[in-house]
Amino acid sequence: MIASIQGVSGVGVAEEPSRWSVEKFGPDLALDLRARIPKALQRAVELAQDARMASALDTDHAFGPTRWKQQYESLHEQLQDLPHVKDVHPSGAQVRVTICRDHLLLPWMYAKRRGIDMRRVRGRLKNQLIRDLLILFGPQSGYEEPTLPEMPPTPDEARDRTALRQEIEQLSPQPRTLLIGFACNSDEGLLGVSWGEAALVPGGGLEWGPVEELFRLA
């Protein structure tokens, strides 16, 4: 529950922010974000657990959609009184994205069990909004896919992102992306939280840059 995270940085997690996060947000804001982001995601997961209990179902049909919506809403509610925080609600999206010091904070559930490093998750990133924002405003991947003649465009290549690009480009300065990965399940709750920089590679996987762990359940 929320109280279990308050005042605790997590098992085996450094209490001081890394140089990387201090360079992005400054020492005071980095400390605040490291404390508040796990609380926000804890709240989102708890609300999803409540929804599952209220549904009286023995499946996660109520847990999943509630968690997905609340991971954005709880993040904004927890951070909105901090300096340099605002939000943007892209056209067609069901959620608003929190921006902090010119970084789009993108919550991403990467696992349902503890002990998994998000950098080792393989396969296509399924969240379409996050994929779109990484393609438009994320770091460039160092991977170069061989060009084959007469190959049709992939769905990501063919997708029209004009409206999303125009909306984000109106922000000044233009923000960058920052993934906030977390693991959770409907029985144990929040299991771990990390944040980091990643580029989307062909096929929809992620190529990681700096990563910092924020919370890990004992």
Paired tokens of 117: 């490093």
DSSP type of residue 184 = E
Determine phi and psi for 90, rounding to 5 degrees.
-60, 145
Percent of the chain whose predicted confidence (pLDDT) is above 70 = 89
Determine phi and psi for 62, rounding to 5 degrees.
-90, -30
- What residues have CB less than 8 Å from 215, skipping those under 6 apart? 5, 8, 9, 10, 13, 38, 190, 192, 193
Instruction: Print burial letters for 150-159: b (CB count within 10 Å at least 16), e (below 16).
Output: eeeeeebeee
Paired tokens of 90: 């892209």
Q: What is the pLDDT of residue 7?
A: 46
What letter represents residue 92's amino acid? G
Question: How remote is the C-alpha of 153 from its chain's centroid?
Answer: 27
Q: How far is CA 113 from CA 28, 68, 192, in A?
A: 31, 17, 9
* pLDDT(215) > 70: yes
The more confidently predicted of residues 159 and 191 is: 191
Confidence of residue 5 (pLDDT cuts 50, 70, 90): low
Nearest to 5 by CA among 45, 50, 48, 35: 35
- Per-domain residue ranges for the chain? 2-216
Q: What is the pLDDT of residue 141?
A: 86
| Average pLDDT for 112-133 | 94
Q: Compute the distance between CA of residue 62 and CA of residue 56 in angstroms, rounded to an integer.
A: 9
Q: Helix, strand, or coil here: 190?
A: strand
- What residues have CB less than 8 Å from 76, skipping those under 6 apart? 87, 96, 98
Paired tokens of 71: 């991971």
| Average pLDDT for 45-50 | 98
Confidence of residue 153 (pLDDT cuts 50, 70, 90): low
* pLDDT(9) > 70: no
Confidence of residue 146 (pLDDT cuts 50, 70, 90): low
The rounded mean pLDDT for the chain is 90
Q: Compute the distance between CA of residue 67 and CA of residue 73 in angstroms, rounded to an integer.
A: 10
Q: What is the pLDDT of residue 154?
A: 72
| Average pLDDT for 18-22 | 96
- pLDDT tens digit string along 49-86? 999 999 999 899 999 999 999 999 999 999 999 999 99
* pLDDT(178) > 60: yes
Q: What is the pLDDT of residue 2?
A: 41
Confidence of residue 148 (pLDDT cuts 50, 70, 90): low
| Average pLDDT for 107-122 | 96
Confidence of residue 145 (pLDDT cuts 50, 70, 90): low
